[in-house]
Homo-oligomer: A and B are copies of this chain.
Amino acid sequence: METTATVAPKGRPREFCTDRALAAALGVFWSKGYEGASMADLTEAMGITKPSLYAAFGNKEALFHKALDLYEAEKLEYTRDALNQPTARAVAEHFMRGAIDAQMSSCDPKGCLGVISMTACGAEAVSIKADVVQRRASSQAALVERFEQAKRDGDLPDHVDIPGLTGYLYAILQGMAVQAGSGATRADLERVVDTSLMMWPGR
């Protein structure tokens, strides 16, 4: 069939790889935030000029949404693995240890792009914030479902409040992201995770 043709587009071919450019943009947004990342920062890191950026990605906001897609697909992959862990405790542990790896990688900015975008409160960031909040809500809903399954499995005590437990786990994850972005060491975060797991209900 070949509907998505590789048949050579009409005009002059672009001289840069959009995927690489997007990855570079993600790095800038991740380290500087949406409002803190200027077009000059972005174009320099992406190795392209402003008109090329606008032609390929629309504008700054559209570029951010695409960078967020990439972030979810690549850097938040561990959250999907986490949901497939056999027990609720293993789910929580996978979430927290995965968060440490993602937020303290030596080749990526520290902290979580979602958290710094949710806490950004400038005027231009309002639609950005709404997008991130919505993505977080759907991710949290998936965790609620997983914990309900765990309760049916007898894996969580009957008395636990599922929304409370998910909000609690997300609070720890978000707090870890705040700390990761403000000077905490990997060992600091590991202590937080170990303490959390020591208190986890059941087993």
Q: Report A's interface with B, CB cutoff 8 A.
A: 31-33, 35-36, 111, 115-116, 118-123, 125, 129, 132-133, 136, 160-161, 163-165, 167-168, 170-176, 178-179, 181-184, 188-189, 191-192, 194-196, 198-201
Q: Which of B115, B129, B181, B192 is the one whose CB lies under 8 Å from A168?
A: B192
Complex contact A121–B195 (CB within 8 A): no
Q: Knowing that A133-B182, A173-B175 touch, tell me 19 more A-B residue pairs with CB under 8 angstroms.
A: A31-B121, A32-B121, A33-B121, A35-B36, A36-B122, A116-B120, A116-B121, A120-B120, A121-B181, A160-B195, A160-B198, A163-B188, A164-B195, A167-B189, A168-B196, A171-B171, A172-B175, A174-B174, A199-B200
- The A interface is mostly helix, strand or loop, or mixed, namely helix
A167 engages B192 (CB within 8 Å): yes
